[in-house]
Amino acid sequence: MKKFNFKKVLDGLTSSSAPPAKPETEITETLGSEHFQVSKTVRHGFPYQPTAMAYDPVQHILAIGCKSGSIRLFGRPGVDCHVMHDNDAAVLQLIFLVNEGALVSVCSDDSLHLWNLRQKRPAILHSLKYNRERITYCHLPFQSKWLYIGTERGNVHIANIESFVLSGYVINWNKAIELSQRTHPGPVVSLSDNPTDSTKLLIGFETGMIVQWDLKTKTAECRYACEQQTLHSLAWHHEGKQFMCSHSDGSLSVWNYRSPSKPAQVFQPHGHPAQKGSKPEACRPIMKVAWPTSRTGDPFIVFSDGLPYERSGRRPCITVMQGKSVTVLEMEYPVVNFLPVSSTPWPNDFQDPYAIIVLLENDLVVIDLTTPGYPCFQNPYPMDLHESPVTCCTYYADCPPEMIPAFYTVGSRQQKKTGFSDKNWPVKGGEWGTSTCSYPEIIITGHADGSLKFWDASAVTLQLLYKLRTSKIFEKQPLNQSTEYEEDPFAIVKIAMCCESRILCVAGTSGHVIVYRYNKVETTVDVPTLEIALVYEVDDLDSPDTDQIPPPMPPPSSSVGSAGSGGMPSPSPHHSTSSEGAEKVGSPLLKVKSGPQKMVPGYQVDLCAQLVTVEGEPPSQILCLAINSLYGLMAFGNMQGLAIVDIIQKTTLLNLGTPDLYGSADPYTRTQPRSPQRKKPPAGLGDLGEAQAVEQERCRSPTTERDESNGVCLSPTGTTRKKLADIKRNRNQPRPRMSKAHSTASMEGNGGDADSKDGSFSRSRSSSMSSLENVSAEGINCLSFTESYTRKTGPSKSRHRRPSKEQQHVTPAFFPTPTTYMVTPEHSEAFEHHKRKVHQTLSLDPVTSPCLWVGTTLGSVLVIVLNLPPQGDQRLTQPVIVSPSGHSPDVEKEERNSRKAKFTSMLNNRLRWGLMKHRTTQWDHLGTILRLKGAILAMSFLDCNGMTIPPLFAKWEDPKKKEENREAKDGQSMQRRGWQQLQHLHRQKAPSSPTTETISDRQFVVICSEKQAKVISLPSQTCAYKLNITETSFVCKADVVSIAKHQSKVGHSTNLTKKKVRNG
């Protein structure tokens, strides 16, 4: 028989009765920043500021050099490579070693580089630097090992292309010209060898002197003196008996090789013949000429510009002449260079050109010479990425697989461009890589003209899927009456899209936000509109009518319309403004077209929300935009405040000035008007009209409270009501210090060791502390819809500790029920005992609820709770309740009211002898207010395992099928996946007992600002991790990207050019 051990029984009883220790939340990271490396893949779009171009006619590779020192190599669609020189010297000239996989680049720092293109990543093999002379022009004959280098002094040097070393052979300018010529011929502007005799080199000087140099005898064989003006280029006929010159007066001259005395022909292609006694018509310079020959007809003469000066307004052009046919092809941008594309690399054979590659300053054009009319090839590269300047860009990875085909289908239906050649793109070199992307990627670019382009970024080259013009819904503005506020009134500033539901939100620079829904069929609808006024001002309340009682709040069932100034909800779904005076609020900068509008398949307008002018000042630019398809809500913010819109019922739920989101817990003193931009003059007696009560309500003292039973727009601090004369005062004045003001929430102290040690949370100040920080502007910079904890819960080691003197004057910003009472010093200890009981009574189980997390430009993070009606028909009729206080009225209303009644009865019975100066007690709940350094840039939510919580969404469904299956499926198919996620999040509840020590954190929120990043545990709101940026740097962009079911948070530091990558 086993021996009984009484000691073990006692130990077991002792351990079972003792409360278990709070488990520490630990996440094992399998990846760290050292496992990530930022690498260059490809550059999309047109090369910036191109300066040079070269083409390999055998391998069909095109090279473009840029002013920044970069080189782009193009082949067949999908073949694109970008390389850079070691310095940022501009590329002046590019020369291919034909069919050898090598390229010579000439840079503005008088250096030459030999690139090896045969390896996977092109690299420089050799470099040659000139120190005494400036390089002006280089020439490499076909299959030659000698590179001819012309200089600014008129000399020609020769280098070996294999060793990249200069030879001792130098053609000096004084030996090339005649001895009788006393002037310097100028820099070398052109070099070309005779097609039939490679020992004869034609040297062209800027002043018009041309020399035929014999490389064997080292003597000048012939000298040609052009009487025309400056020489720009030379071109040989393939037979080697004639060459053509282009000049600065718009003329072309043809010279016979054996007749140097005078040109065989001189003509101005675009100039009228000179009349007797008059001068010839002045024309612009012909910068370059080409003379390719054809087996089937007359040779081509191709040149750039040369049009008369008198024809003002003419665009840059390329002229193609063949026999008596003259075709002028106008270009949209100035011509940088052009190259005829021939079927043979041999210069002494018929070239038979079939295309002309034209490099423009902002475009690449290829002309088809084999089709009558010379149409252009349709460019397969994304060169039109900057057709209109890109003002906004958004990247979506791991999109639904059916999304790209859907965009391509509607994009292919759009009007196709006409007038293009039906032949294949001539630049067809290179090969595709074998590796393919395992997940679909989409890039959306917003442009200055109000258009959006959807690109398939799954492969190396961007492919245009679909183009959307947002300006179509607005009325056209007269040319002489454009908006006085913006040069580009339709420019896109923010883009937000839900990939699963295909709902798209676009914010424009004129203060408009458009909601689009994807539809496969054409429809005709009226565009619903909302007009919203976001305004917050510091008003002067020195008026005789300041003792008027503020109006009551709306009933609990009403949704918040324009709460930014204490306004009521808008009854009309088409108009919502703040409650400022009618003389302040103006109209939107853009006017939406009235009447039914035809919507083509693709994205169709569902709603247009517009910010209106206030006192003649335009609304500030929208800084952030967020959409949630499952909630049916959209939010956006600017430097004035925040607006929340119900995109299902087409109503404005909330529009608040940023300071009003704090309520009386505002830690700042607002010293300047928020909006409009210029300060409003002091109000007189005649200005206190309809908006008087609302303005007084907005500017109430932090100690004044509203009844919070309606669940909307609650003040974060509950106090006793003071006299109206003390309540109505200017925000510019410092708030008075209250004696012995403390709250029930202050009994929690710092809420945990992590808070106290880290000091990562800036406490919300009471009125006695708010004047320490004076600010003039605070905008909304970041928004995130999520299902999360809205208030701080969980036990604290200092729960039953008496607050210090500091805590009696400072209300913590994260505690759930900070109700403040005015007590006398002698009754302070008695009142503390009752407060501890009240706090335990009012504690609620932590539960997640729909909410909106708001980040400001001053580093504050606030939470707005969303009370959503049930899905289905009720969602279409019942309002959405928005609670900036940080509590969900739907979850806590019944229990709060019951406990509130009990507590009121207890206070009346126990404290009737005079603990409180006033019996009227206002109730409120303080929501989460977190503080970081710098403006908030990004927020992301993680589960208890450290994985990113995906956003809730409603699955897209074809409207036809949705209507047919609505009764059968009861409207659940659209939200199946989203509600599964919602149920999963609702299971993330803490244990039911609020007094136990076993409460553990269920979520993490990662917040990144300009100066630091923090990982905060929820609902305890303790700091699990913190990363500070150095004082001399700041983060300009941070985002969370989900790629192939892996999440990473990336931050980019501007002046350190350093990227921080953290595994999710």
What's the mean pLDDT in 1-25? 46
CB 686 within 8 Å of CB 609: no
For the chain, percent helix, then strand, then coil, each to nearest 5? 15, 35, 50
Task: Give the least confident one: 24-38, 125-139, 331-345, 861-875.
Answer: 24-38
Q: What per-residue confidence (pLDDT) applies to 126?
A: 95
Q: What per-residue confidence (pLDDT) applies to 954?
A: 87
CB 372 within 8 Å of CB 323: no
Q: What per-residue confidence (pLDDT) applies to 166?
A: 93
Residue 911 has pLDDT above 80, yes or no: no
- Where among 107, 128, 149 does a domain terminate? 128
Instruction: Please enumerate in sequence order all residues whose Cβ is within 8 A of that of 934, keeping only pairs 6 or more positions apart, or say none.
Output: 859, 1009, 1010, 1011, 1012, 1034, 1035
Q: Between the ranges 73-87, 754-768, 962-976, where is the mean pLDDT highest?
A: 73-87
Q: What per-residue confidence (pLDDT) applies to 795?
A: 46
Q: What per-residue confidence (pLDDT) applies to 773?
A: 55
CB 774 within 8 Å of CB 671: yes
Residue 515 has pLDDT above 50, yes or no: yes
Instruction: Please enumerate in sequence order all residues whose Cβ is within 8 A of that of 1058, keeping only pairs 6 or more positions apart, or say none.
Output: 1033, 1052
Spell 74-90 as b/e; 16+ CB within 10 A means b.
bbbbbbbbbbebeeebb
Q: What per-residue confidence (pLDDT) applies to 85?
A: 95
CA-based angle 87:88:94, to the nearest 5?
A: 95
Instruction: Please enumerate in sequence order all residues whose Cβ is within 8 A of that of 330, keeping only pairs 6 or more positions apart, or say none.
Output: 314, 315, 316, 317
What's the mean pLDDT in 652-664? 88
- Parallel, antiparallel, or unpaired for β 669-670 and 774-775? parallel
What's the mean pLDDT in 837-863? 75
Q: How confident is the model at residue 566 (pLDDT cuts 50, 70, 90)?
A: very low
Distances in whole angstroms, Cα of residue 339 to Cα of each of 63, 303, 304, 366, 1012: 12, 10, 11, 10, 53
Could you give the CA distance from residue 455 to residue 1008 in angstroms, rounded to a whole number? Answer: 28
CA-based angle 542:544:547, to the nearest 5?
A: 95
Q: What per-residue confidence (pLDDT) applies to 805?
A: 41
Q: What per-residue confidence (pLDDT) applies to 21?
A: 47
Q: How confident is the model at residue 415 (pLDDT cuts 50, 70, 90)?
A: low
Q: What per-residue confidence (pLDDT) applies to 1044?
A: 57
CB 619 within 8 Å of CB 638: yes
Q: Considering only residues 24 and 272, tell me which one the structure prediction assigns the higher pLDDT.
A: 272
Helices 828-842 and 889-910 pack at an angle, to 10 degrees, of 150
* DSSP β-bridge partners for residue 630: none
Residue 689 has pLDDT above 80, yes or no: no
Q: Choose among 687, 672, 701: nearest CA to 536.
A: 672
- Parallel, antiparallel, or unpaired for β 597-599 and 503-508? unpaired
Q: What per-residue confidence (pLDDT) applies to 135?
A: 96
Q: For residue 355, give both structure tokens.
A: 């295309």
Could you give the CA distance from residue 238 to residue 321 in angstroms, rounded to a whole number? Answer: 17
SS3 category, 35: helix
Q: Read off the pLDDT of residues 584-596 as tens digits, 9 standing for 90 and up.
A: 678 899 999 999 9
* Tokens 């004057």 -> residue: 809
Domain count, the chain: 3
Is residue 462 assigned to a domain?
yes
- Parallel, antiparallel, or unpaired for β 91-97 and 80-84? unpaired
Could you give the CA distance from residue 385 to residue 373 in angstroms, rounded to a whole number? Answer: 27
Number of CB atoms found within 10 A of residue 216's CB: 7
Q: What per-residue confidence (pLDDT) applies to 478?
A: 64
CB 1008 within 8 Å of CB 1028: no
- Where among 470, 493, 510 does a domain terminate? 510
Query: Is the C-alpha dihedral spanning 87, 68, 287, 337 positive or negative?
Result: positive
- % of the chain residues with pLDDT over 90: 44
CA-based angle 107:112:117, to the nearest 5?
A: 100
Distances in whole angstroms, Cα of residue 687 to Cα of each of 65, 347, 541, 985: 65, 86, 11, 51
Q: Between the ranges 307-316, 340-349, 845-854, where is the mean pLDDT highest?
A: 340-349
Is residue 1054 assigned to a domain?
yes
Domain residue limits at 486: 390-428+438-510
Q: What per-residue confidence (pLDDT) applies to 385?
A: 83
Is residue 1018 assigned to a domain?
yes
Is residue 70 assigned to a domain?
yes
Q: For residue 1, give both structure tokens.
A: 């028989």
Q: Between the ranges 224-233, 618-627, 794-803, 1054-1063, where is the mean pLDDT highest?
A: 618-627
CB 374 within 8 Å of CB 328: no
Query: Is the C-alpha dihedral spanning 924, 928, 932, 936 positive or negative?
Result: negative
How does DSSP classify residue 643?
Answer: E
CB 791 within 8 Å of CB 925: yes
- Parallel, antiparallel, or unpaired for β 441-447 and 390-397? antiparallel
Residue 820 has pLDDT above 90, yes or no: no
Element counts in the chain: helices (H) and strands (E): 14, 59
Q: Read off the pLDDT of residues 599-653 as tens digits, 9 standing for 90 and up.
A: 999 999 999 999 999 888 899 999 999 999 999 999 999 999 999 999 999 999 9
Q: Read off the pLDDT of residues 979-995 as tens digits, 9 standing for 90 and up.
A: 444 444 444 443 443 33
The beta-strand segments (E) located in 884-963 are: 929-931, 936-943
Indicate which CATH number applies to the domain containing 106: 2.40.10.480
* DSSP β-bridge partners for residue 366: 357
- Where among 81, 110, 128 does a domain terminate? 128
Task: Give the least confident one: 262-266, 486-490, 694-698, 793-797.
Answer: 694-698
Is residue 230 assigned to a domain?
no
Q: What is the mean pLDDT of the chain?
A: 75
- % of the chain residues with pLDDT over 70: 65
Long-range contact set of residues 754-762: C-beta below 8 Å, sequence gap at least 24: 754/1017, 754/1022, 754/1023, 754/1024, 755/1021, 755/1022, 755/1023, 758/1022, 758/1023, 758/1026, 760/932, 760/1014, 760/1016, 760/1023, 760/1026, 761/813, 761/814, 761/930, 761/931, 761/1021, 761/1023, 762/667, 762/813, 762/931
Task: Give the least confident one: 472-486, 525-539, 908-922.
Answer: 908-922
Q: For residue 34, give both structure tokens.
A: 């050292």
Q: What per-residue confidence (pLDDT) applies to 1000?
A: 59
Is residue 120 assigned to a domain?
yes
**DSSP H stretches of helix in 601-701:** 658-662, 692-698
Q: Read off the pLDDT of residues 32-68 as tens digits, 9 standing for 90 and up.
A: 777 777 777 778 888 999 999 999 999 999 999 999 9
Is residue 499 assigned to a domain?
yes
How does DSSP classify residue 317?
Answer: E
Could you give the CA distance from residue 701 to residue 663 in angstroms, rounded to a whole number? Answer: 10
Residue 925 has pLDDT above 60, yes or no: no
Q: For the chain, how long is the longest CA-to-CA vector?
A: 138
Distances in whole angstroms, Cα of residue 321 to Cα of each of 117, 299, 311, 340: 36, 8, 20, 13
Is residue 875 assigned to a domain?
no
What's the mean pLDDT in 560-564? 38
Q: What per-residue confidence (pLDDT) applies to 763?
A: 37
Instruction: Please enumerate in sequence order all residues whose Cβ is within 8 A of that of 987, keeping only pairs 6 or more positions apart, or say none.
Output: none
Q: How confident is the model at residue 906 (pLDDT cuts 50, 70, 90)?
A: low
